[in-house]
Structure 1
Amino acid sequence: MSSYQYIIIGGGISGLYAAYLLEQRGISDYLLIEANNVLGGRLKSMPINEDEAFDLGATWFWPNEQTQLSNVIHDFGLTTFDQYQIGEMLIDRSLLIPPQRWKQHSPESKRVKGGMKALIDKVVSKLDQTHILLSHQVVELVQEDEHTKVHVKCPNHEIKVFSSQQILVAIPPRLAVSTIQFTPELPVVFKEKWLNTATWMAPHAKYIAVYDHPFWRDQKLSGSAHSSVGPLAEIHDASSAEGSAALFGFIGLPAHARKTIKDVELTQHCRNQLVRLFGSQAATPKSEFIKDWAKDSLIATEDDQSPAMGHPYPPMKSPDKSIWQNKIIGISSEFSPSYSGYLAGAIEAATLGIQTLFSKTQ
């Protein structure tokens, strides 16, 4: 049985950034375990060529508000660009009347050149990748004396067991308590709070259409639209920094309704809506993508099939009266006190988790 000082569960941006912070402190005695065969978690970009990719997960950040994330992106040498917002937006209230044009007033947001995948790739490039284990899912944590035994399901379904002094939980709290058995059990109230913390992005689905030219801009439109008709409830210009044109939208149909519709049919409905809003040129995209996060069992649980009313309120990172106290520390975005559920929250939660880790050892 291999032993590590630290084990990180989850290879999204919070887990990867926590690993980076450990290595910055000169610590190499850790293992990062990711259930998926790729890293990134809820940061997922669809590449269309060597330099361009469109985000199917987290897309924007707000540099004037999210200064820590902005500094991280800058320090990693990534190129950013403004979200396109020039022109009017459309308000779509009925199939019986044309959409109305409104002046757009939105806070300045930015995107990362090459998609958020560029951020993941940059963090990974800074790590010793021999400490990353893909396609392995943590299924049980067993507390024994001063160590935790971490039971991990391998791709061949066999179980490996690792040992660690400290567990950093970099997957959403609801997912953690829904998919991992804790022995002994977590305190009931603490477990319920983790279970009741909505996983941001999990109920949602995104659609992207890629074009040769941003024809909506010729109409003095920003590409943004809000619709009560659907199927896309919110639409934005998703064009890349290099010039590839695209529109993307959040699909307004709830997860249970999306399960009854094949992706090819849903894609057609989304395309028809873009034609109705932006004209006939929207009928012939070069490519289209749908990512339904509610169908991703490594992100969403049954409790995540209905959208949350807002960004989740951060639960406690660790039980305060339990054998598990400070043995597990939650560091996913949901634990961020300032930006729970946002990309900036993942950076903040990872940073605070590492600070907690070392403050209790001093």
Structure 2
Amino acid sequence: MTETQVVILGGGLSGLNAARLLHRAGIDFRLYEARDRLGGRILTVNAAGEPADDGFDLGPSWFWPDMQPAIGALVAELGLASFGQHSKGDVVFERMSRERPHRLPGLGQDPQSLRLTGGSAALIRTLADSLPPDRVRTGAQAVALRLLQDGVEVSLRHRDGREETVRAAQVVAALPPRLLESTVGLSPALPPETRRLWQDTPTWMAPHAKFFAVYDRPFWRDAGFSGTAQSMVGPMPEMHDATTASGEAALFGFLGVGAADRARIGEAALTTACLAQFARLFGPEAAHPRATLWKDWAADPLTATAADPSSAGHPAPAESWVDGPWQDQLILAGSEVSPQEAGYLAGAVEASERAVQAVSRRLQDRTGDRA
């Protein structure tokens, strides 16, 4: 049986940043990620849909360092480059299907939305590279936590069917609360009010889907468009230029079609409808991309639960995320539990920093008790 001071569940931005901070503090940890890749909802892919060092963000993409100092400080500390979201040019507003789209002068952005050079996965790669490889495992899903007299026993199921048990003094759950409650059994059980809090906390991105069209060149810029559009017609209510820092040209939009309807209509029909909308807004060349990308987060079982497709919105702050018998051994660190930036990249950074501070205090108190 493996023993460690801290088990981290989840290898997204929060889990990896928690691991970085623990490693820097000399605290032994093991990180387990259920997916076969690190990153969680951060997923940067190339035009073929494969994870890449430079590509398109199927999950979160933007950050605002002046408004979100936690993510700004982390990006600076890691030495990552960023660039501004393209907003130069006219915007398009589509009000009704029976009238032509309206073309309006763009107003720019204030504050400026930034994107990471290489995509948001640059954060994941850099954080992962700072960690001892033998402390990080992918394809390992936590299925149960059992409270012991002096710690926690974590039961894991690996992708190959192998089971593993790990003992730790502390567990940092860098997962959305709703996903944690749905997929990991706790013994003893949570107090009913804590369980309801986790169940009622929406998972950011879980109800949503994004569509990308990749082109040989950003032709809309040549025509004086910014690539930004809003529509009351659909299927995408909000669209933006997704061209990468290296010049890979693309447009993307958030789907305004609900998760159940997306499943019923299907990706092929929605792709056709999205390309037709791009063509209405930006001209006939938009109907002929060299590739399209699609990510429906509601269909991702390691992101969304059955409750998520009908539960959009930002999570609300809570005074305490863990009460009852688990309050001294388990701490939540997913972006959703951030008191200020819940759901955002900045929220994952804030939540992980707070979690590591709490874990460090607990381990010090435990050492002091034994002295």
Matched, 1:46 2:50: no
Distance in 2 separating the partners of 1:265 and 1:318: 41
Distance in 2 separating the partners of 1:214 and 1:121: 28
- Given residue 315 of structure 1, which amino acid in structure 2 is its aligned partner? A
What corresponds to 1:74 in structure 2? 76
3-state SS in 2 of match to 1:311: coil
3-state SS in 2 of match to 1:31: strand
What corresponds to 2:29 in structure 1? 30
Equivalent of residue 191 in structure 1, options 182, 190, 195: 195
Is the 1:317–1:335 Cα contact (8 Å) retained in structure 2?
no
Alpha-carbon RMSD across the aligned residues, in angstroms, is: 1.4
- Given residue 42 of structure 2, which amino acid in structure 1 is its aligned partner? L
3-state SS in 2 of match to 1:231: coil
Equivalent of residue 311 in structure 1, options 310, 314, 319: 314
- Given residue 336 of structure 1, which amino acid in structure 2 is its aligned partner? S
Equivalent of residue 84 in structure 1, options 83, 86, 104: 86
TM-score by length of 1: 0.96
Distance in 1 separating the partners of 2:303 and 2:23: 27
What corresponds to 2:17 in structure 1? 17
Distance in 2 separating the partners of 1:228 and 1:326: 49
What corresponds to 1:357 in structure 2? 359
What corresponds to 1:218 in structure 2? 222
Deviation at 1:219, TM superposition (A): 2.2
Deviation at 1:101, TM superposition (A): 2.0
What corresponds to 2:369 in structure 1? none
Is the 1:171–1:332 Cα contact (8 Å) retained in structure 2?
yes
- Given residue 303 of structure 1, which amino acid in structure 2 is its aligned partner? A
Deviation at 1:95, TM superposition (A): 1.4
Matched, 1:8 2:8: yes
3-state SS in 2 of match to 1:299: coil
Structure 2 unaligned blocks of 5 or more: 366-371
Equivalent of residue 289 in structure 2, options 285, 288, 292: 285
Distance in 2 separating the partners of 1:142 and 1:35: 19
TM-score by length of 2: 0.94
Distance in 2 separating the partners of 1:81 and 1:273: 27
Counterpart mapping for 1:104-253 below 5 A: 104-105=106-107, 106-107=109-110, 108-253=112-257
Distance in 2 separating the partners of 1:316 and 1:212: 50
Distance in 2 separating the partners of 1:182 and 1:121: 32
Deviation at 1:104, TM superposition (A): 3.3
Distance in 2 separating the partners of 1:3 and 1:328: 16
Shift of the 53–317 alpha-carbon distance from structure 1 to 2, 3 Å rule, reads farther
Matched, 1:55 2:57: yes
What corresponds to 1:302 in structure 2? 306
Is the 1:170–1:332 Cα contact (8 Å) retained in structure 2?
yes
User: How many equivalent pairs are there?
Assistant: 359
Structure 1 unaligned blocks of 5 or more: none
Distance in 2 separating the partners of 1:17 and 1:223: 33
Deviation at 1:102, TM superposition (A): 2.7
Deviation at 1:159, TM superposition (A): 2.5
Distance in 2 separating the partners of 1:217 and 1:176: 44
Q: Judge which range, 198-207 or 159-168, deviates more.
A: 159-168
- Given residue 11 of structure 2, which amino acid in structure 1 is its aligned partner? G
Distance in 1 separating the partners of 2:103 and 2:133: 50
Deviation at 1:267, TM superposition (A): 1.0
Deviations 1:209-231 (A, max 9, x none): 11111111122211011111111
Deviation at 1:117, TM superposition (A): 1.1
Q: Judge which range, 154-163 or 237-246, deviates more.
A: 154-163
What corresponds to 2:337 in structure 1? 335
3-state SS in 1 of match to 2:70: helix
Shift of the 280–314 alpha-carbon distance from structure 1 to 2, 3 Å rule, reads same
3-state SS in 2 of match to 1:349: helix
What corresponds to 2:264 in structure 1? 260
Identity %: 42
Deviation at 1:48, TM superposition (A): 4.4
Deviations 1:228-256 (A, max 9, x none): 11111110000111112110000110001
Distance in 2 separating the partners of 1:142 and 1:32: 17
Distance in 1 separating the partners of 2:311 and 2:239: 18
